[in-house]
Amino acid sequence: MKDDVRKLAADFKQFLSSREEDELIPAACSQAAASFVSKNQKQEDNHLTVAFVPPGKHPAHVKIPVQPLRADATPNTAVQDIPSPQPETEDMNAKEKQILLDQIAQEIHNCHRCPLGNTRLHAVPGEGNPAAKLMFIGEGPGFDEDHQGRPFIGRAGQLLDKMIAAMGLKREQVFIANIAKCHPMINPETPESRGNDRAPNAGEIAVCRKFLEQQIAAISPKYIVALGGVASKALISDTDSLGALRGKFHILHLDTVELKTPIKIIATFHPAALLRNPNWKKDAWADLQMVMKEMGLKRPQA
Ligand code: URA
């Protein structure tokens, strides 16, 4: 184990000296992860922390997970994937977070680990402020999102924009993502037809989990709003109903990433459900007001 770490440090030093500053953090992390994981497939610890000092920057510690994904992930996704970098985020500025998010997005665009990767028109990694204090997480892209590669831009997205505005925020101030990064379709042979949306299944959620957890760790928001039952169950508890999860904050626990700073998560109704059941809007508003109170936000005057 020690020899591996020494060898890794030497490789790492050599690697760092060959890179431009801007690509140092993500590229170096990937290199370290690739190098370590390829030599330590069977090692027991589930993390390795590597310290490095990019020229002109503060020292950074990169925690590299070496455990497989969740036990319920489909087998071909758990083992051979090289885990991506998970830098400590307290010292990272928005630019560094954006670099990391771009790298995760690139992995998502290249991903074909489940069948959705072969039928999507566009992957939808998510978008927004890389240093957001608040994240919204939905279920998965629908028709409009699949066509444009952006989250929540259809009718449900327009309602989400109104919900964000009612909280006194702009869409660009928050980060919006989904549990599944590709469009789950009822009939994958007709991606051009509307109304062809379905919820992601357990295998698809497990495959995508790593990406979402890396995004959350990179952004390190203080609060997350889980939109609807799929997101709430995937992120809080899959044994409780949305009704049981709503109306209170939970502390977020991730499966593949260890968070440095606690994140509070609250479950509420999905905007698409609110469009179908407008009488639920007052309960959703009560959930959002809990977040506003904690964040010191005020509803803008009309
Ligand atoms: N519904 C979601 O859950 N996510 C989107 O991006 C759009 C609709």
- What is the rounded average pLDDT of the residues 222-247? 98
Nearest residue (by CA) to ligand 1, atom 7, is 152
In a domain, 80, yes or no: no
> Could you tell me the two tokens for 55?
């020229």
- What is the rounded average pLDDT of the residues 32-48? 36
Q: What is the DSSP string of 124-149?
A: ---EE-TT-SEEEEES---HHHHHHT
Query: Which pLDDT does position 92 carry in this prediction?
Result: 86
| Per-range mean pLDDT, top range of 25-34, 35-44, 180-189 | 180-189
Q: What is the rounded distance in angstroms from the CA atom of residue 111 to the CA atom of residue 115?
A: 10
Domain CATH code at residue 189: 3.40.470.10
Query: Which pLDDT does position 80 carry in this prediction?
Result: 34
Q: Measured from the CA of 150, which atom of ligand 1 is nearest?
A: 6
Query: Which pLDDT does position 76 carry in this prediction?
Result: 32
Strand partners, 138: 178
Q: What is the rounded distance in angstroms from the CA atom of residue 1 to the CA atom of residue 85?
A: 20
Q: What is the rounded distance in angstroms from the CA atom of residue 265 to the CA atom of residue 223?
A: 6
DSSP, res 225? E
Three-state DSSP state, 265: strand
156 lines ligand 1 (CB under 6 A): yes
pLDDT(162) > 90? yes
**CA 41 centroid distance within chain:** 25
Q: Which has the minimum average pLDDT: 132-141, 187-196, 203-212, 284-293?
A: 187-196
> Could you tell me the two tokens for 70?
């969740």
pLDDT(180) > 90? yes
In a domain, 301, yes or no: no
> Could you tell me the two tokens for 296?
């010191």
Q: Say what percent of the chain tops pLDDT 70.
A: 70
Q: Which residue has the higher pLDDT, 14 or 196?
A: 196
In a domain, 191, yes or no: yes
pLDDT of 60-80, one tens digit each? 444 444 333 333 333 333 323
**How far, in Å, is the centroid of ligand 1 from the Cα of 240?**
21
In a domain, 93, yes or no: yes
- Whole-model pTM: value is 0.73
Cα-trace Rg, the chain: 20
Range of the domain at 55: 2-65
Q: What is the rounded distance in angstroms from the CA atom of residue 274 to the CA atom of residue 160?
A: 10
Q: Say what percent of the chain tops pLDDT 90.
A: 68
> Could you tell me the two tokens for 253?
């626990």
pLDDT of 64-122, one tens digit each? 443 333 333 333 333 234 345 555 566 689 999 999 999 999 999 999 999 999 999 99
142 lines ligand 1 (CB under 6 A): yes
Residue in this structure with the two tokens 């979402």, named with its chain if needed: 212
229 lines ligand 1 (CB under 6 A): no
16 and 111 housed in the same domain: no
pLDDT(223) > 50? yes
Last residue of a domain, one of 30, 65, 100: 65
In a domain, 37, yes or no: yes
Q: How confident is residue 56, by pLDDT bands cut at 50, 70 and 90?
A: very low
In a domain, 75, yes or no: no
In a domain, 78, yes or no: no
pLDDT(209) > 70? yes
> Could you tell me the two tokens for 252?
């977020």
pLDDT(219) > 50? yes
Query: Which pLDDT does position 7 carry in this prediction?
Result: 59
98 and 201 housed in the same domain: yes
User: Do the Cβ atoms of 213 and 101 come closer than 8 Å?
Assistant: no
- What is the rounded average pLDDT of the residues 190-206? 95
**How far, in Å, is the centroid of ligand 1 from the Cα of 230?**
11
In the chain, alpha helices (H): 2-17, 24-39, 75-78, 94-110, 116-119, 143-148, 155-166, 202-219, 228-235, 242-245, 271-276, 281-295
Q: What are phi and psi of 93, to 5 degrees?
A: -90, 175
Write out the H or E segment, with its range, that includes residue 69. none
DSSP, res 240? S
Query: Which pLDDT does position 302 carry in this prediction?
Result: 79
**Cβ contacts of 276-283, under 8 Å, gap ≥ 24:** 283/246, 283/247
